[in-house]
Structure 1
Amino acid sequence: MKEKFPHLKETLENLPAEPGVYKMQDGSGKILYIGKAKSLRSRVRSYFQPSAVHSPRISIMVSKVKSVDLVVTASEVEALVLEDNLIKKEKPLYNIDLKDGKNYPYLKLTMEETYPRLILVRRVEKDKGLYFGPYVSGKSVRSNMRLIQKIFPLRQSRDNLDNKPPRRPCLNHQMGRCLAPCAGNVSGQEYRKVVDEVILFLKGRNRELSQTLHKRMIDASEKQLFEIAARYRDQMEAIKRLNEKQIITQTNLANQDMIAAYEEGGKGIILILQARRGKMNAERSFMFSQLDRLDRAEALGAFIRQFYTGGMEIPATIITQEPPDGAPALCQWLSSRREAKTRIVTPIRGRLKKLLEMAERNAKIRLRSSLQTENSRIQALEDLREIFGIDEDVRIIEGYDISNTSGVASVGSMVMFRDGAPSKADYRKYKIRTVTAPDDYASIAEVIERRFTRLVNDDKPFADLLVIDGGKGHVKAAIEAFERIGVEPPPMVGIAKGKDRGDIKTDQFFLPGQREPVDITPSSPGRLLLQRVRDEAHRFAISYHRKVRSDRSMKSALDDIPGIGPKRKKALLRKFGSVKRIREAGVADLQEALSISEKTAKKIRESL
C-alpha cells in the first residue's frame, strides 16, 4: 500500500473509523467514484491493500485515484442518503447508474371532472386527480387499463362533458362498456359508484369490491332494476375469473420483489419480479455496462437505492441472491420511507430460492440475447467499414432526411447511431429557413451546412459515416454544401427507393461522384443497418413535420382572435386539446379555462 500509492499514504493513515461518504478524485480534481461506509477507515483502505481483488471497473478507477475527500456522518443511513444525493449531482464515471431516463407510468382518475376518466400519465401533478402507481412497465399498466375498460363502464372519450348538451352515445355504450354520461343516461352520483369500484380494484381490494358489487346487485334486483343487476353480476364474474387466472406466489398474500443479477461479457443485467398481494404482476430488466461478478453486491445495493427512490412502491420483503452492499442501512432507509418494516433476505432453500433461481434464469437469457444483438451490430459495422473502404472503425453514423407537404412546413432530421444502436439524445431536428418551394436538394444542403458549421465552430468531431435518404441528387447537394463551408466531408451514401418501393431489396445505394448505384448484397448486415438508419431518419422527419404542420394550423385558427394571446392560447389547448374542441366549448367553459369575464368569453366564442 505504501509503495504503490505513496501520494495517499498520509490520507490512508488518518482515516476516521466513523460512518460517512468518500469521494475518489483524479489529478485534476474530477470525482471518479462516490461511496459510503460504516467505517471510512476500513472501507477506503480496502481499495488500496496489496491483496485487494477488484473487478476490472474498480481496478481502473483505483489506478486513477490521486486524492480522497471525506464527509463524516452521524450514521450509516445518513451516509447512504448523502451518497445517493451526491451521485445524482456529480454523476461519477465509475459509479453504477440505473440510467433509466423514462418516467414510470401511472393510472390517473380525473376526479376534477363530474364524470372522471381513467388515463395513463407519466407525471404526478398537483391537481385533484387520483393517481395509482407507479407501475414497473408500460405493458403492465396498459394491460390493467384494458382490463378495467372491459369490466367497468367508465367513459373513454376525452371530451369535457360539464355543462354540455346531451348527444348521441358512442359505440362503447352499445357494447356495454360505457354508461353514456355524454347522452345524459346516468347521473353524476350513479357514475361515481362506478368510479369507487375502479378505485377498489386498483387498490387490489377485490374481495371488498366483490362484496360491494354483490350488495348492489341484490339491491338492484329488489328494485326490479334487472339490467343494472345483470351488470353487477357480470362484473363479479369477471373479477372472479381474474383471481383464478393470476398466479399465487405466496399463500400469505405477501408483497415482495425478487431481484436477480447476472454478469457476462463485461456487462450485467438486473431483473426484478414484483408480487403484490401474493400475485405476480410485473417484471422489468435493466442493463449495465462495465459490470463484473465481483461488482454484484455493489450493483444490487445501488439498484435498490435508485429504484425505490423514484416513488416505486416499497414491499415488505426484497429477495436477492446475495446481501447487497450496506444491507442493514438499506433496510433502515427503506423502512423509514415505507413507514413499516422492510426486510432484505437471501434464501438458501425452499420456494423463495426456486423463485429467485427462475428470475436469475430469465436474467441470464435476456443478457445473452442482448450480447448476441450487440455482436450482430459489431458485425454490421465491420461490414460497412469494408464496403466503403474506411480505415478507422465505424462507430458513429448520422442519417438525414427532409419532410414537407408541397413545400409547406418543410423540416429536416438528423438521427445518430452509436455502435449500431440509436442514440436518441443526439437526434436533431431543423426547420428549413431558406427554401420555400418543394426542393429536397436545397433543403438537405441547408441542413448539412447548419449541422457541420456548428460542429466546426464547436470543435466537435464528425460522424464516421453519413446516410442520406435520397438518390445521387441528394448526395450531390450534400457534397456541394460541404464545399461551401470548406470542410472535407466524411464517407457518405444515399439510399433511394428502387423499382418496387415496397421491397427494400430493390433499394439503390449511391456514393459521391458515382453515376451508378453500388451493389451491396441484400443479406449484408451492413446494408440492413444502413436501411435502418434511413428509416429512422425518415420516421423522425415525418413526426416533426406533422407537429410543425399541426402547430401552423392551430396558429392560424387562434392567433387572430381578439383577447387571445400566447398564454391564453396555451391554456385553451391544454384544457381542450384541439381547436375543434375549443370551438365546441361553451361560454362557461371558456370562462373557467381562462378565468375571464362572461363578456370577454362571449367575444371569443363569437370569433370562434
Structure 2
Amino acid sequence: MLGKEAVGTEGFPDGPGVYIMKDERGRIIYIGKAKSLRKRVAQYFRDKSSLDIKTQVLVSQIGSIEYIITATELEALILECNLIKKHRPRYNILLKDDKNYPYIRVTLEEEYPRLMLARKMKKDGSRYFGPYRSSYYVKQTIDALGRLFKVRACSKKISRSGKDRACLNYHIGRCMAPCQGSVSREEYRSAIKQICLFLSHRLEELISLLKKEMESASQRLDFEKAARIRDQIEAFKTMAEKQKVVTTSMEDLDVIASARSGDSACVQVLFIRGGKLLEREHYFLENLEGVSNGALITEFVKRFYSATAFIPKEILLQYEMDDKEVIRQWLGDKKGSAVNIRVPKRGSKKQIVEMAADNAAELIKNFSERMRKEKEEAYSALEELYSALDLEVFPFRIEAFDISNIQGVQRVGSMVVFEEGRPKKSDYRRYKLKEGRGPDDYQSMREIVARRYKKCKGDETAILPQLVLVDGGRGHVSSVEDELEALGLSLTVCGMVKDDRHKTRGIVRKGREVPLETLKKAYRLVASIQEEAHRFAISYHRSLRGNAQVRSTLDGIKGIGQKRRTELLKHFGDISKIKEAGVEELASVEGMNRAAAQMVYEFFRK
C-alpha cells in the first residue's frame, strides 16, 4: 500500500493489474485496471488541471492506493469487474439498480432435471439462462414452462427402480412423474431440451422439433400426446408472431445505445435473436459528470456482461469503446467463440442502433422529469419540516434510529439515512445489541447512538447529520441527547411519536410535541422515515431469528460443522431451500462432498 504523498511513477510495477483507491478512513472509493499500473496511477497526479472535475474531487480524497498484480490485462479486466460489483465504490460508474439479477437454472447434472430460480451462476453442471429483471418474471416463466412441459418441480431423489409413489402434481396433470416410471429418461430429457431451446429464444427451431414429435405420436396412434404437442406448438406460434423482425439476417445481436441528461444517462439494450426483436431492457446510471460517451459505454459493457449468461455473436454499439480488444477477448473466452463488437456506419444495423438511442432518449427524458418532480417534492417537505421544528440548520441529511425485540430478547437496532429527502440505502446500518439488560429501550437507543457516533469526535472527515430522529418520545430523545453530549457532539435530536393505531402523530422537539396533521408534506416524509427505520430493524430481527433456527436445525446433522453450515446458508439462503435440495445440489456447495450431502438429504426425510 502507498500513501498519497508517496504516489508517483516509483513504487508501482510497470505491468498489468488493478489499483484500489481508498480515502483517509480506509473506505474504497475507486477501483480501476491498467495495462501499466505505474503509468496509469501517475496520470492522476502529474497535471491535475487536465483532469475533469469529478476526477479532481476523487484525487483530493485519496488517502492510500493498493494494487493487485495480474498476469495479463484480460485478468485485470475480470478482477476489476468482480471487485467493483463487490465493493460498489463511490466514484466508479454503477448501474443505478445494480444487484444480483435472477437466472433460470436448468439442473442438467441431475438425471431428471428441474427448473429453478438462481441468484448466481455456478460451475455445477447446470445450464443458466438470464439474467432477468425480476424474480417475479422468473417464477412465472418457470411455472408456465412446468405446466406446458410437465417437468418435475420437487427435489425428490428419484430411485432407479422408478416405483415410488407419484405426488399430487402428477394427478392434476402437471408432472410426467419420472419417480413412478411414467416417462422414460429419453422422453423426459427431450422435454428439457425443448425448454432450453425456448429459453435460448430459438422458437422456430423448437416449433420444427415439436412438429416432428407430433407427427411421430400420430403415427403411433398416440393421439392424446399429439394433441398436447399441438397445443404447445400453437402457444409458441403465438409468441413468435408477436416478435418484431428487425433484420433480414437470422442472427443473434445485442444492440447498446445511450442518451444523457445532466450527469445521468439511460442505456438501452435490444436483444435480437434470429433476426427478431425479442425484448429490451434499460438501465440508468448517475454521477457521470466528466465521463465521455465512450467511457460510459465501456463501463456499462463490462458491468452488464460480467453478469449475463448469454453472449451473442455480435454486439452493436453507438460509440467506440475504450479497451475494445481486451473486452472482445474477454467476451470471446466467456462465449467459447469469437464475438464481433462494432459501431455500424450505415445500413439496417445503423438504423437499429439509432432506434435503441431514440428509446434511450425518451426514457431518460421521462426519468429526468420524474426525478425533478421528486426532488422538488422532497425539498418542499424538508422546508416544511425545517420551519415547523424551528431548526438551526437545514436538514439535508437525516439519520433515524429504531429498536426491535421480542419480549426484550435478541434486541437489534437500525439506522436509516435520508439525504435531500430520499433514502440513501448504502449508508444504512444495523446493530446487534448486548443481551442481559432486559427490555430497556432507553439504554438500547443510547448503545446504538454511541456505536454510530463514537468515532466522529475530532474527525474532520466524518459525515454527520443535520437532524437525528429516534423512534420514541421525550425519554428516548433525552437519553440520546445525553449520550451525544458525553461523546462531545452537538446534534439536533427529535423523537417520532405514534398514535394508538401505530401511525405517525408528531415530532418531539425541545420537550414539546409538534403535531404534523396540518403539515401534509412533512408528515409524509417523517412517516416514510419512521416506517423505513422500523422495516429495516424488523427485517434484521427476522433474519437473526431465521438464522438461529437454521443453525439449531443443522447442528443436529452428523458431519455438518460450522464451516459447512455457513456455506449451506450462503448457497441456499434459508432452511426451506436446504430441505428441498437434492443430493447433487447439496454436494455442489463449497466444502461439501457426496457423503455429507447424503447425510443432510436423509436428515430432512426421516
Please report the TM-score for the alignment, with normalisation by the length of structure 2: 0.74
> Out of 530, 534, 540, which is 2:536 matched to?
540
Distance, in Å, in 2 between the alignment partners of 1:109 and 1:387 is 58
> Out of 284, 287, 307, which is 2:285 matched to?
287
Task: Quote how far apart the aligned CAs of 1:595 are.
Answer: 2.0
Distance, in Å, in 2 between the alignment partners of 1:568 and 1:540 is 28
Say whether 1:477 aligns with 2:476.
Answer: yes
Moved more, 256-265 or 84-93: 84-93
Distance, in Å, in 2 between the alignment partners of 1:144 and 1:432 is 45
Alignment of 1:7-46 (within 5 A): none
Structure 1: state its 5+ residue gaps: 1-9, 12-17, 66-72
Conserved? CA contact 1:316–1:341, under 8 Å: yes
Conserved? CA contact 2:320–2:343, under 8 Å: yes
Task: Quote how far apart the aligned CAs of 1:299 are.
Answer: 1.7
Q: Deviations over 1:531-554 (max 9, x none)?
A: 222222222222222233333444
Evaluate the alpha carbon distance shift between residue 416 and residue 133 of structure 1 in structure 2; reply closer, same or farther with a 3 A threshold.
same
Evaluate the alpha carbon distance shift between residue 465 and residue 553 of structure 1 in structure 2; reply closer, same or farther with a 3 A threshold.
same
Distance, in Å, in 2 between the alignment partners of 1:228 and 1:428 is 56
Distance, in Å, in 2 between the alignment partners of 1:195 and 1:95 is 41
Aligned partner of residue 595 in structure 1, secondary structure: helix
Aligned partner of residue 312 in structure 2, secondary structure: coil
Task: Quote how far apart the aligned CAs of 1:500 are.
Answer: 4.9
Task: Quote how far apart the aligned CAs of 1:247 are.
Answer: 2.3
Q: Which amino acid aligns with 2:543?
A: K
Evaluate the alpha carbon distance shift between residue 159 and residue 19 of structure 1 in structure 2; reply closer, same or farther with a 3 A threshold.
closer
Distance, in Å, in 1 between the alignment partners of 2:288 and 2:299 is 15
Task: Quote how far apart the aligned CAs of 1:283 are.
Answer: 0.5
Match of 2:400 in 1: 399
Conserved? CA contact 2:412–2:432, under 8 Å: yes
Q: Deviations over 1:298-334 (max 9, x none)?
A: 2223323443344554434433334344657755665
Task: Quote how far apart the aligned CAs of 1:240 are.
Answer: 1.2
Q: Percent identity?
A: 28
Conserved? CA contact 1:261–1:363, under 8 Å: no
Match of 1:128 in 2: 125
Moved more, 479-488 or 124-133: 479-488
Say whether 1:116 aligns with 2:118.
Answer: no
Task: Quote how far apart the aligned CAs of 1:513 are.
Answer: 4.9
Conserved? CA contact 2:467–2:491, under 8 Å: yes
> Out of 252, 258, 261, which is 1:261 matched to?
258
Q: Which amino acid aligns with 1:195?
A: I
Moved more, 351-360 or 246-255: 351-360
Aligned partner of residue 289 in structure 1, secondary structure: coil
Distance, in Å, in 2 between the alignment partners of 1:556 and 1:165 is 35
Distance, in Å, in 2 between the alignment partners of 1:549 and 1:349 is 60
Conserved? CA contact 1:571–1:594, under 8 Å: no
Match of 2:424 in 1: 422
Q: Which amino acid aligns with 2:430?
A: R
Task: Quote how far apart the aligned CAs of 1:281 are.
Answer: 1.9
Distance, in Å, in 2 between the alignment partners of 1:500 and 1:135 is 40
Moved more, 52-61 or 310-319: 52-61
> Out of 148, 152, 157, which is 2:149 matched to?
152
Q: Deviations over 1:473-522 (max 9, x none)?
A: xx513532542572456333433443555xx5xx3123155354523535
Distance, in Å, in 2 between the alignment partners of 1:270 and 1:584 is 38
Conserved? CA contact 1:323–1:346, under 8 Å: no
Match of 1:411 in 2: 412
Match of 1:179 in 2: 176
Q: Deviations over 1:421-464 (max 9, x none)?
A: 2324533142552344xx3xx13531441342453146455433
Task: Quote how far apart the aligned CAs of 1:108 are.
Answer: 0.9
Q: Which amino acid aligns with 2:257?
A: A
Distance, in Å, in 1 between the alignment partners of 2:230 and 2:61 is 69
Conserved? CA contact 1:135–1:141, under 8 Å: yes
Q: Which amino acid aligns with 1:548?
A: L
Conserved? CA contact 1:137–1:283, under 8 Å: no
Alignment of 1:153-552 (within 5 A): 153-160=150-157, 166-167=164-165, 169-170=167-168, 172-173=169-170, 176-181=173-178, 185-278=182-275, 279-291=277-289, 295-311=292-308, 313-325=310-322, 334=331, 338=335, 339-347=337-345, 351-352=351-352, 354-368=354-368, 369-419=370-420, 420-424=422-426, 426-431=428-433, 433-436=435-438, 439=439, 442-443=440-441, 445-457=443-455, 459=457, 460-470=462-472, 472=473, 475-483=474-482, 486-487=486-487, 488=489, 490-500=491-501, 507-514=504-511, 516-524=513-521, 526-552=522-548
Distance, in Å, in 1 between the alignment partners of 2:60 and 2:596 is 66
Match of 1:7 in 2: none
Distance, in Å, in 1 between the alignment partners of 2:561 and 2:545 is 20
Task: Quote how far apart the aligned CAs of 1:106 are.
Answer: 2.1
Aligned partner of residue 521 in structure 1, secondary structure: coil
Distance, in Å, in 2 between the alignment partners of 1:325 and 1:579 is 46
Aligned partner of residue 511 in structure 1, secondary structure: strand
Q: Deviations over 1:177-196 (max 9, x none)?
A: 33345666445444333222
Please report the TM-score for the alignment, with normalisation by the length of structure 1: 0.74
Evaluate the alpha carbon distance shift between residue 375 and residue 54 of structure 1 in structure 2; reply closer, same or farther with a 3 A threshold.
farther
Distance, in Å, in 2 between the alignment partners of 1:457 and 1:510 is 28
Evaluate the alpha carbon distance shift between residue 424 and residue 185 of structure 1 in structure 2; reply closer, same or farther with a 3 A threshold.
farther
Task: Quote how far apart the aligned CAs of 1:119 are.
Answer: 1.0
Task: Quote how far apart the aligned CAs of 1:378 are.
Answer: 3.7
Task: Quote how far apart the aligned CAs of 1:197 are.
Answer: 1.9
Aligned partner of residue 463 in structure 1, secondary structure: coil
Aligned partner of residue 104 in structure 2, secondary structure: strand
Conserved? CA contact 1:557–1:579, under 8 Å: no
Evaluate the alpha carbon distance shift between residue 560 and residue 176 of structure 1 in structure 2; reply closer, same or farther with a 3 A threshold.
closer
Evaluate the alpha carbon distance shift between residue 205 and residue 392 of structure 1 in structure 2; reply closer, same or farther with a 3 A threshold.
same
Task: Quote how far apart the aligned CAs of 1:107 are.
Answer: 1.5
Q: Which amino acid aligns with 2:465?
A: A
Conserved? CA contact 1:169–1:183, under 8 Å: no
Task: Quote how far apart the aligned CAs of 1:274 are.
Answer: 2.5
Conserved? CA contact 1:446–1:481, under 8 Å: no
Q: Which amino acid aligns with 1:205?
A: R
Task: Quote how far apart the aligned CAs of 1:120 are.
Answer: 1.5
Evaluate the alpha carbon distance shift between residue 192 and residue 267 of structure 1 in structure 2; reply closer, same or farther with a 3 A threshold.
closer
Aligned partner of residue 358 in structure 1, secondary structure: helix
Conserved? CA contact 1:445–1:481, under 8 Å: no
Evaluate the alpha carbon distance shift between residue 215 and residue 117 of structure 1 in structure 2; reply closer, same or farther with a 3 A threshold.
same
Conserved? CA contact 2:398–2:466, under 8 Å: yes
Evaluate the alpha carbon distance shift between residue 32 and residue 513 of structure 1 in structure 2; reply closer, same or farther with a 3 A threshold.
closer
Moved more, 101-110 or 53-62: 53-62
Task: Quote how far apart the aligned CAs of 1:227 are.
Answer: 2.6
Distance, in Å, in 1 between the alignment partners of 2:321 and 2:302 is 10
Task: Quote how far apart the aligned CAs of 1:565 are.
Answer: 4.9
Q: Which has the larger radius of gyration?
A: 1
Q: Which amino acid aligns with 2:198?
A: F
Q: CA RMSD in A?
A: 5.3
Evaluate the alpha carbon distance shift between residue 570 and residue 220 of structure 1 in structure 2; reply closer, same or farther with a 3 A threshold.
farther
Task: Quote how far apart the aligned CAs of 1:173 are.
Answer: 4.4
Task: Quote how far apart the aligned CAs of 1:360 are.
Answer: 2.9
Evaluate the alpha carbon distance shift between residue 603 and residue 83 of structure 1 in structure 2; reply closer, same or farther with a 3 A threshold.
closer
Structure 2: state its 5+ residue gaps: 1-7, 63-69
Conserved? CA contact 1:22–1:34, under 8 Å: yes
Distance, in Å, in 1 between the alignment partners of 2:388 and 2:347 is 55
Distance, in Å, in 1 between the alignment partners of 2:560 and 2:46 is 67
How many pairs were matched up? Answer: 569
